[in-house]
Amino acid sequence: MMYTSHILHQRVLNFADLSEEDREEQKLDEIHTGNCLSILIGDQLLANSSRGLAELRNPFIVEWMSKALEDFCKYSFLVEEQVDLSKPECIIKNVEGRCYFSGGSLLGYSCKSAALLAGYSQTDDKLFLNDAFDFGNNMGITFGLQDMLDSDSNANKLHNLEKLSKEETINYLKKVLEARISNCLQLVDKLPKFESTVNIRNVIVSIANKYLRQCLIESEQRL
């Protein structure tokens, strides 16, 4: 619900950015109505999720999910940052940062919270909880990169990386994606071979199969 509320709030349109065609009175009324609905529904979802968190009566989970919400807000400012295009490592760091704040953080803290609710201890099972966060974070970043690769306007999606060619942009995205998929597989391989973990692994491998054939080959060799 937190993610959905965030998406709805992001869909609020700034009247100053509208084209002349969209400034017609009828369209302005429709846009205003849409903005009001996005804000109200988003606020309602956020309120419900906050109430649900409070009902868990677990201060650790409340703190973690609050941090995820904070990261959503940071993402809005991160997209405006200037990137040094002369340094590939800066571009990769920027891409990873955007994917982390826009979804990796939430999925990471959600997995960590789920592990805590499943009975793992904050003191005795700290390493496992950290692995749960790392897995969720890597998956969140993977989904973000997947979304960028599926977009027809990859350069625009990256905002200030538009000086790169489309081929260069995709190569950078795939480089980051390969590292994240590798991390996910390593974390999943630490778990017992239950049906659920096998299914999760198959999802990760299917992403590799679509975007990184070489990564898939190496993954299958480890089985």
For residue 62, being part of any structural domain is answered with: no
Percent of the chain with pLDDT over 70: 74
Number of domains in the chain: 2
pLDDT at 155: 45
Specify whether 186 is located in the same domain as 149. yes
Angle of helix 166-188 versus helix 88-99 axis, rounded to 10: 60
Res 149 pLDDT > 80:
no
For residue 72, being part of any structural domain is answered with: no
Q: What is Dmax (Cα atoms) for the chain?
A: 62
For residue 64, being part of any structural domain is answered with: no
Domain of residue 5: give its range: 1-57
For residue 205, being part of any structural domain is answered with: yes
Specify whether 101 is located in the same domain as 205. yes
Contact indicator for 163, 82 with CB cutoff of 8 Å: no
Over residues 152-179, the pLDDT tens digits come to 544 454 544 555 666 776 777 777 888 8
Specify whether 96 is located in the same domain as 175. yes
Specify whether 100 is located in the same domain as 197. yes
The helix or strand, by DSSP H or E, that contains position 115, with its residue range, turns out to be helix 105-117
Which tokens go with 50? 């906050």
Specify whether 190 is located in the same domain as 90. yes
For residue 88, being part of any structural domain is answered with: yes
Specify whether 126 is located in the same domain as 205. yes
Total number of residues shown for the chain: 223
pLDDT band at 130 (very low <50, low <70, confident <90, very high): very high
pLDDT at 82: 60
Cα separation, 60 vs 168, whole angstroms: 41
DSSP 56-97: HT-HHHHHHHHHHHHHHHHHHHHTT----TT-HHHHHHHHHH
